[in-house]
Amino acid sequence: MTASLDEHGGIAAVDMIRALALRCPGVAAMSPTARSYLPGRTVAGVTVDEHRVDVHLIARYGTPLPTITERLEVLLLPVTAGRSLHVHFEGIVLPGETAPVEDDQPSAATPTGAGADG
């Protein structure tokens, strides 16, 4: 079954996008530089809004970045629900290096800028 961004308020889609991206050859990990804030937790590497899906990731050395982007476009097509896909490469894991540990975590704070007056 494929999820769309409209199911369950987008929560199922954020998880699906992350899972599919991590299965893509050449992707080492999701980057913690961007995250979705969901009820009680955050999801690293994926942000979604009305018009776009942003995937922030760390690549494995050896796979050309345009190839990873093309693979993600195909893999994520069923769950982007007509939104544009933007792939951000935040780093590259070299041979012999360990990919960063995923750090999805319970959300103890509101996102930066949420509720701030500016």
The residue type at 11 = I
The candidate with the shortest Cα–Cα distance to 80, out of 58, 54, 57, 59, is 54
Q: What is the pLDDT of residue 38?
A: 86
Q: What is the pLDDT of residue 103?
A: 59
Query: Residue-wise pLDDT tens for the chain (118 aa)?
Result: 333 444 434 678 899 999 999 999 999 999 999 999 888 889 999 999 889 999 999 999 999 999 999 999 999 999 987 899 999 999 999 999 888 776 555 444 444 444 444 3
Q: How is the chain split into domains, by residue range? A: 7-93
H or E element at residue 91: strand 84-93
Return the CATH fold of 7-93.
Alpha-Beta Plaits (3.30.70)
